[in-house]
Amino acid sequence: MADHESSKINHDNHLLLDQPLLRLPCELLKKNFRAAHFTFEKDSTFVKNLLKETATASINGKTSPQDVVKNLDTMLTRMRGMKRKLESYSEEESSIYRQVDARVAHLKELSTMHTVEDIRYEAWSRQRLDRLVVDYMLRHGYNESAISLANERQMQDLVDIDTFVAMDKIRRSLENGSVTEALAWCSENKKALRNMGSNLEFMLRCQQFIEMMRMGKQLEAISHAKKHFIQFRDSYQQEVHQLAGLLAHRPDTELEPYKTWYSQERWNRIADIFVEAHNKLLGLPSFPLLHIALSSGLSALKTPACHSSQATSSSQPSHSTSLTTNVCPICSTELNELARNVPYAHHSKSHVEHDLLLLPNGRVYGKARLEEYAAKAGLQPGHCKDLVTGQMYTFDQLKKVFIT
């Protein structure tokens, strides 16, 4: 039940929803470093080897000075390319570190508050809501909305627009029937995907095969299968066999499982598999954090009265100084339908106003509220008025109610 204790901020557990805020930048740093390292390894090996060969050949008189210059030009081009790439990784690194700092500072603000009554808590919690809403929008591909909300609230460093926009681009390309972008992403993350046991690359290769068959390019499909299916033969034996069988079936076949393989729906499934792999790889929750916050919050707030057909007498907190009805957030239009699907909160103690009085019509109100309402409504002394129905009574008609 509501008491002072429940207003306290439990710092150990208050940031459960905010974990990806720091996890994701860490993953991105790792990824960025891996890419930088890969570039360096590849280009430096090339340059070192070429330099060595050139020197040897030059000493042995096998290479003319002109060719040495040409080779040096090749090396320079390669090195300048490497520098450009490293520079962009370095910029990315700085921007990720800047995000980490901004996020730690944002989370740290909470450390200075001890109760939810702290006026700064509301501002912090609103910002958290904005973050969750942006996350939700991005996951659904509502990128423009997400960007404009982030700009409006000036919290670009607290949300992961780039990551999700890149993800959305690949998802959309899959939904539109193109595997190129997703395959490029697979090769960027080959090792991590393998460690995860993801079937994404296999599914993409299958889809390429299916599309070739759809276009009637059997020979191309066979050579594609030879090239790409070997590595998957053991782990996806059944699927590979079925695909081999696909060679004997035309796209309009009614025969299962071939009909399913040819189905256009597969593109959407692959898009889902990609999103799942992407989020898992980056340590992101599989569904929007807003969902978690909402299902927990709706339940905690919901009472049996929220979906009752009858207006209760207490649609407002009993401590409220205002007489007029303060609509409960679950009863309010925005969330009422959504909250229908969650269980209501559990209470083991009653929580009612003081000095309850029963009106002849069956409604019960706190004495103080009835008196205040009577005064504000300018009623004759000794008279009162039902706050919901407006029926008029005198105080001597009311009966005391005892809540144990």
Partner 1 sequence: MAENNTGIALLERDLAKLSRKPRLQAAVDNVDRIIEQLAAAREQIATALDPHTASLTVTRLQNPTKDAFEMVNENLKDVSSAQKKVFKAVNEHFPLKPLPADHDAMADHPALINRAIAMHLLREGQFSVASTFIEEAQDTPPHHALYQQLESEDTPSADQDEAMDDDDMDTDAQTSVTASTSDPTDLSSLHSQELQTKFAEMYSILQDLKSHNLRSAIDWARANSTELEARGSNLEFELSKLQYVWLFKGAAVNGLPDDERNGRSGALAYALQHFTRFRERHVREIEKLATAMAYAPNLADSPYKEVFSTDSAFTDVAASFTREFCSLLGLSAESPLYIAVTAGALALPRLIKYTMAKRAKGTEWTTDNELAFETPLPEKMVYHSIFVCPVAKEQTTESNPPMMIPCGHVLGKETLQKLCKGTRFKCPYCPSEGQLKDARQIIL
Nearest approach, Cβ of residue 78 and partner 1 (Å): 10
User: Site residues for partner 1, window 4-23 (CB under 8 A)?
Assistant: 5-7, 10-17, 19, 22-23
**Residues 243, 313, 384, 398: which binds partner 1 (CB under 8 A)?**
313
Nearest approach, Cβ of residue 381 and partner 1 (Å): 13
Nearest approach, Cβ of residue 343 and partner 1 (Å): 5
Nearest approach, Cβ of residue 220 and partner 1 (Å): 29
**Residues 194, 241, 291, 354: which binds partner 1 (CB under 8 A)?**
291
Rg of the chain over all Cα atoms, to the nearest angstrom: 33
CB nearer to partner 1: give 242 or 318.
Answer: 318
Quick check: 370 binds partner 1 (CB under 8 A)? no
Quick check: 235 binds partner 1 (CB under 8 A)? no
**Residues 218, 223, 237, 324: which binds partner 1 (CB under 8 A)?**
324
> Residue 180 phi/psi, 5° resolution?
-55, -50
Q: Are 362 and 350 contacting, i.e. CB atoms less than 8 angstroms apart?
A: no
Residues 35, 29: Cα–Cα separation, whole Å: 10
Rounded alpha-carbon distances, angstroms, from residue 22 to 31, 240, 353, 379? 15, 41, 44, 59
Quick check: 95 binds partner 1 (CB under 8 A)? no
Quick check: 108 binds partner 1 (CB under 8 A)? yes
Structure tokens at 193: 């995907």
CB nearer to partner 1: give 221 or 313.
Answer: 313
Segment near partner 1 (CB under 8 A); pick from 145-153, 194-202, 214-222, 253-261? 145-153
C-alpha torsion sign, points 16, 21, 27, 30:
negative
CB nearer to partner 1: give 156 or 295.
Answer: 295
**DSSP H helical segments within 153-199, as ranges?**
161-175, 180-188, 190-196
CB nearer to partner 1: give 165 or 401.
Answer: 401
Quick check: 161 binds partner 1 (CB under 8 A)? no
Residues 16, 273: Cα–Cα separation, whole Å: 26
**Residues 271, 277, 281, 282: which binds partner 1 (CB under 8 A)?**
271
Pairing of strands 356-358, 383-385: unpaired
Structure tokens at 51: 């330099």
Residues 110, 105: Cα–Cα separation, whole Å: 9
